[in-house]
Amino acid sequence: MSLPRRLHRFLGWCLILPFCIWAFTGLVFFIKPGYQAAFSYLTVKTYPISAKVQIHPQPDWQEIKLLQSVLGMHLLVKQSDGWQQLNPQDFTVRPQPADDEMQLLLQDAISVDPQRYGEQLLKTDQGYVTDTGVQIQLNWASLSLSQQGKDTELINNLYKAHYLQWIGNKSLDQVLGVLGLFLLLLTTVLGIRLLIRRR
């Protein structure tokens, strides 16, 4: 057996695992099972504004949002360094509410989809988690929510596996990805060379 043929066979065996992973994860990305629930957009539940508010925009304000939640009125102001939540009465920075108010706000938000979020919230060191295992994070400054369940984590891990991010170190994963592509290209070149020789 010639050296190119032996090398081609060796590289083929080395690439069996990456090929299987690429094929499986590629099928998942094409079909997208469970994507809608895993990456559903969770928002703070809002209500009709019940009071008049006079707003005097400041020169450094780029965008203004006024909304009402179960906690009352919220004035959100975007500045050059990001969003900030102000008190609608005196325009001072509004501090993050106490835990019981935070629970009330999040409980109201997850009530729109009890099948995914369940009915109860538990506070942890990382934030809040529902009785269905979905982790919820609140950005108080922008009054925005993010959610991640076990299905979200699984899909994210499939993306990492697909792109050869197996080690967890960004630099080493980049080396592994480049090496994988190089081996794939080398295998293809050797295969074409053997095909031409056979003909």
pLDDT score, position 135: 95
Query: Are residues 185 and 140 part of one domain?
Result: no
Query: Are residues 99 and 187 part of one domain?
Result: no
Q: Which domain holds residue 19?
A: 3-31+163-198
User: DSSP letter at 199?
Assistant: -
Asked whether residue 154 is domain-assigned, the answer is no
Query: Are residues 67 and 122 part of one domain?
Result: yes
Query: Are residues 123 and 92 part of one domain?
Result: yes
Q: What is the pLDDT of residues 148-184, one digit of tens each?
A: 999 999 999 998 888 878 787 888 888 878 887 888 7
Asked whether residue 158 is domain-assigned, the answer is no
C-alpha span between 75 and 94 (Å, rounded): 9
Query: Are residues 88 and 63 part of one domain?
Result: yes
Phi–psi pair at 33, nearest 5 degrees: -70, 130
pLDDT score, position 47: 95
Asked whether residue 125 is domain-assigned, the answer is yes
Number of domains forming the structure of the chain: 2
For residue 91, is it left (φ>0), alpha (ψ between -120 and 50) or beta?
Answer: left
Query: Are residues 47 and 144 part of one domain?
Result: yes
Lowest model confidence (mean pLDDT) among 75-89, 145-159, 177-191? 177-191
- DSSP line for 99-135: HHHHHHHHHHHHTT-HHHH-S-EEEETTEEEETTS-E
Taking residues 26-36, report their average pLDDT.
Answer: 88
Asked whether residue 157 is domain-assigned, the answer is no
The more confident residue out of 198 and 124 is: 124
Query: Are residues 58 and 108 part of one domain?
Result: yes
The more confident residue out of 28 and 15 is: 28
Query: Are residues 131 and 101 part of one domain?
Result: yes
Token digits for 81? 């360094």
Asked whether residue 156 is domain-assigned, the answer is no
